[in-house]
Amino acid sequence: MASSLLELPANFQEALTWFANNRGKLQKVPAKLASGALLQGSQGGGIFCPQGQKYALSLKSTIGAQLNSIYADAEPVFHDDGTWTYDYHEVRSKPNAAGKEKNPTWKNIRLINNLNDGIPVGVFREVMIPGSKVKAHQILGIAQVVAYDERTGFFTLKSAQNYSDRGKLSIEDLDRDTRKTVTTVKAVREGQSLFRAQLLEAYRGRCAITGYDLPDALEAAHIAPYRGRQTNIISNGLLLRADIHGLFDAGVITIDSSNLNVLLSKFAAGSMYVDELSGAKLRIPTQELHAPDLTLIASHREKWAHCFNN
């Protein structure tokens, strides 16, 4: 296990530094640098893991992975302090021309290693240059993998630091900033158990959508994605059955903020969930102070609107 970036191979360090120093640019990301350090794989988008390495080096989202799919990568969320967060979907197997499925799960495992050991990744996405039909790469920079939801397949990424007012960075700078970020993330995660306990009390131990009452099957769901301790507030939470939680996070289930009706996306069509949740409404706590924030509910529906378009 690498306890710091300085213990990684030199080419790996150089590649991470390149992503940090080119953050915010709109340009094509080269496959490799003049030194031979690789920045991305040769097979288009996805998770790039250098041969023989325990960790993923870079993540690329293609335009196709950002459109109408239950597995669509979310849009990056840019914050007032210059940092950003990004929900990136894991790699899934796809059949080749001969109908044989490849198994890319090892790439997800490498990215989980980044999460567990605090190793950042370079992040970029394919975009269309405004006013043209030309594709380019939006370079987001480097990020920590701060969470992974195995039900929905989403990795949550958080930019390591706000570098907007700083010059060129060295690997020592990145190592120092990464250590700060990892320490902060570990501290914030400690608030999760309290958040769930508060929701169990507020919703009287029942799922806010199905009414199920077995505590072991109930989870604390965030309406707006988890972004640190400040998002662990009751008005940003729903107590949901585990499977409903996963579908809510993936945008298969959302709520109409105007009447609290439960809505199912096109991806649930033909499933037993249609029968189970037909006519269902969101149950809210009796104490107004604990009620979910309707603005956040509306934002959740808007975020996943593409899943409801035919």
pTM score, whole prediction? 0.64
| Cα separation, 110 vs 51, whole angstroms | 11
Q: Give the per-residue pLDDT at 101.
A: 46
Q: Give the per-residue pLDDT at 57.
A: 96
User: Domains in the chain, start-ordered, CATH in brackets?
Assistant: 5-189 (2.30.280), 192-308 (no CATH)
The answer to whether 244 touches 209, Cβ cutoff 8 Å, is: yes
User: What is the distance of C-alpha 3 from the center of its chain?
Assistant: 24
Residue 115 has pLDDT above 80, yes or no: yes
Q: Give the per-residue pLDDT at 193.
A: 66
Q: Cα dihedral angle (164, 28, 41, 83), rounded to 10 degrees? A: 20
| Torsional sign, CA 33, 37, 40, 43 | positive
Range of lowest pLDDT (34-38, 145-149, 223-227): 223-227
pLDDT digits (tens, 9 = 90+) for 230-254: 678 899 999 999 999 989 988 999 9
pLDDT digits (tens, 9 = 90+) for 149-193: 766 778 889 887 666 556 688 888 888 877 777 766 665 555 566
Cα–Cα distances (Å) from 277 to 79, 165, 192, 269, in that order, read 35, 50, 28, 12
Residue 46 has pLDDT above 80, yes or no: yes
In single-letter form, the type of residue at position 70 comes to I
Rg for the chain, CA atoms, rounded: 21
Q: What is the distance in angstroms between the CA of the first residue and the CA of the last residue of the chain?
A: 47
Mean pLDDT of 62-72: 61
**Who has greater pLDDT, 129 or 17?**
17
Mean pLDDT of 141-146: 91
Q: Give the per-residue pLDDT at 299.
A: 93
Query: For the chain, how are helix, strand and coil distributed in percent, rounded to 5?
Result: 35, 20, 45
**Who has greater pLDDT, 34 or 153?**
34
Cα–Cα distances (Å) from 197 to 35, 147, 243, in that order, read 52, 20, 19
